[in-house]
Each structure stands twice: as C-alpha cells, then as structure tokens.
Homo-oligomer: A and B are copies of this chain.
Amino acid sequence: MTALLPAWFDPGDERAARAVWSRLTEPVDRQAARLVAAEGAAGALRVFLSGHAPADDSARWHARLASFDPGRDQAALARVGGRIVVPGDEEWPEPLDALGPGRPLCLWVRGPRRLDQVSRRAVALVGARACTEYGEQVTRELAVGCADRGITVVSGAAFGIDASAHAGALGVGGPTAAVLASGVDRPYPRGNVPLIERIVAEGVLVSEVPPGSSPTRNRFVTRNRLIAALAGATVVVEAGWRSGATITAGAAADLGRSVGAVPGPVTSPASVGCHRLLREGVTCVTSPAEVAELVDPLDAAAGQQLELPARPYDDLSPTDLRVYDALPLGKGAPLPSIAAVAGLDTPAVLASLGRLDLLGLAARNGDAWRRSPPGAA
C-alpha cells in the first residue's frame, strides 16, 4: 500500500520525527527502534507512511495514526514549559543507551536539572507504595545522605518509598529525577501533585510517553526499566513479594548495574521483597555510605563502616588472651600459678606478661602479677 505523506511531515526534522514515533508506538517497540536506527527517525517515518514497512508493524502503528495530531503534542508540551530530549542532544543521558533497541525514541522533560548531569552519579531509591513508617524513615535518611554526597536520587514519584526518596533529596537541596509512567503534563498519582510540582521546580521530571498519556500497567513496567537505566545503582527499601520495585531491581541487574536491598524486620510483610532479593544475592544496604559504595564501587572508603570502640583485649593474640584471662583481679598471683591456669609454660607467660604490661593490661607487684585496675592504663 502507498499513501500520500501528510502535511505535517517534515523530512528534515529528526527531533519532531522522534516525537511522532513516541506517539505512534508504546514503549519498547524494538521494530520501530531498529527502523529508526537504520533510516533515521524521519526516514523511518517516510518508509512507514509510504507503505514500505513490514505489514505487521505498519498495522500496529496505523492504529494510532488515525487520531494523530502532532501540533497538539507540541502545544501540550509548550503549555507546561517542557522540552524534548533525543539521542545526540547534549542533555541526552548516555546511561540509557545501555537499553539497546529498548532505548526510548525520545524523552519528554520538565525541570531545571539537566538529564545528562543528574545521571552521571545517580541511585534509584525505589520501593512499595504501601510502606511502613520504618521504610519512610530509612528512605529519607538514605536520600539525604546521597544528596549530601552529590548523588542524584532517581525514583518514580509514587506514594510511599518513592515520595520519601524525592522529598528527602529536595529537603536538603539535592538533585532528584522522577520518571513517570504518564505524560509529564499529567502528574500521577494526583495526591503527589504538590511533590511533583516541586520536582518540576527544582529537579527534573521525565517520561518517554507523550503529553496526555495515561499511566497504564504496562507503562509502569516499562517505566521501571528507565529508572533502573538512568541510575548507576538501584536500591529497594521496602517491597512486597510481588512489587514493581523488584521489577526495577531485575531491570538494573539485567543492565549489569549494582542492586541493593535494605533489610527490615522479618516480621514485616513490607520487607519480604527485600529479603527475597537478599536471598538472591543482591547487596545488603544499611546506610548512605553503603549506597554511595554501590554507586561508586571504586570509592571503597565511602562504604567504610564506623568501627565501634574496641575493648582493651580485643586485639590480643590467643596466647596473650589466655594469660590475661588467667590474671587475678585482686592482689595478684605468682608466675607458676598463672602458667598453670593459662596452661602455658613460664617463659611463654613471662613474654606475654611483658606485652600486657606495655599495653597497660597487667601490673606487677614483687613476684605477683595481676590485671591493671580499670583506667590505670
């Protein structure tokens, strides 16, 4: 079949052509992506519109063509002050290229942060909508710690963990990016409109579906792969057994990105998805430093745990510990008695007492040895 090329078709406008493809297809249309890769977006449109694309694909794209109005999409985007970002743009976030033919054909974007910059060091903090107070608290602390380290917090603007992640980052002026399953002019969920408006004002809001699109189940699933791909690591804070957050974690793992999960009480249903991930081998994450270590694996110091204060005998050799154990607390005991209690010969005990004396752990009084009184060292 052959058709007249429509009036709106401009063979020179690659950016507009990608926006058209974004309208004609659902996310992850690999056939469209391959045709665009081979012919360029405008060239691919010409192939399709003049009836030279494979019949199956053409039929699918034609289903959307009837009601298509490119001016409407552009006007809707302009009304909310948005922009289109396509591969090759300076702002294009290169981490998305890891998606291969599943890479978005274009991104619809709002907000002052640049996608290429926020995706440079970013973590996806994701989790259940039905989360607990514990989950919200831990998410906020992780988000604040990431923001303090200049790490962008990426999430999906949903209720629960997602909202706490964005709010934590915004609260300390940190970078945050929200990826929607709906159009960027149609914030979802409605209850999070104030939060999403703040992200538009201070962070960046992004979607691969055109303005006006509703958030369907399928788009939530495909949206999750974008969250995973934008970030260097994905951390699940709380998630039920079946949860969108575990899908995001799976997408991150498929992309070779680091995946972490925050543990919680085994008595909490909100943590069963995290514990399932931990059993599958993802990294246990308990602090912002450990999130930073996932994002920057080479920066091992980032994840260094604070060492708790050691007890005086913590680093003694087994022999010295036996002698220390054998020392009386009271008025002291002679060498042979200490040797018998410790089960060591007297030269070994003498050498050990010398070391314990230096460490301030043993004290001598004539022929008798005892433990140093606490604080004497």
Q: Which B residue's beta carbon lies closest to that of A338?
A: B63
What is the count of identical protomers in the complex?
A: 2
Residues of B within 8 A of A308 (CB): 240-242
A218 touches B60 (CB 8 A): no
**A contact residues, total (Cβ < 8 Å):** 63
Residues of B within 8 A of A342 (CB): 26, 63
A67 touches B284 (CB 8 A): no
Known A134-B265, A266-B263, A340-B66; judge A217-B313 contact (CB<8 A).
yes
- A255-267 toward B: CB 8 Å interface, digit per residue (1/0)? 0000000111111
**In this assembly, does A117 line the interface, its C-beta being within 8 Å of a C-beta of chain B?**
no
**In this assembly, does A345 line the interface, its C-beta being within 8 Å of a C-beta of chain B?**
yes
Q: By CB atoms of chain B within 10 A, which of A241, A310, A314 has the most?
A: A241
Q: Which B residue's beta carbon lies closest to that of A26?
A: B343
Residues of B within 8 A of A218 (CB): 318, 321-322, 325
Q: Which B residue's beta carbon lies closest to that of A284?
A: B278
- A9-30 toward B: CB 8 Å interface, digit per residue (1/0)? 0000000000000001110010
Known A242-B310, A308-B240; judge A284-B275 contact (CB<8 A).
yes
A63 touches B263 (CB 8 A): no
Give the CA-CA distance A340 to B66 in the complex, in Å: 8
Give the CA-CA distance A344 to B26 in the complex, in Å: 9
B263 touches A64 (CB 8 A): no
**In this assembly, does A301 line the interface, its C-beta being within 8 Å of a C-beta of chain B?**
no
**In this assembly, does A221 line the interface, its C-beta being within 8 Å of a C-beta of chain B?**
yes
A266 touches B242 (CB 8 A): no
B64 touches A340 (CB 8 A): yes
Residues of B within 8 A of A278 (CB): 263, 278, 284
Q: A361: shortest Cβ distance to chain B, in Å?
A: 12
**In this assembly, does A88 line the interface, its C-beta being within 8 Å of a C-beta of chain B?**
no
**In this assembly, does A120 line the interface, its C-beta being within 8 Å of a C-beta of chain B?**
no
New contact pairs (17) apart from A242-B311, A263-B284, CB-CB < 8 Å: A24-B343, A29-B343, A59-B345, A59-B347, A63-B346, A66-B340, A134-B265, A216-B322, A216-B326, A217-B313, A217-B324, A263-B264, A263-B271, A264-B265, A264-B266, A275-B286, A279-B283
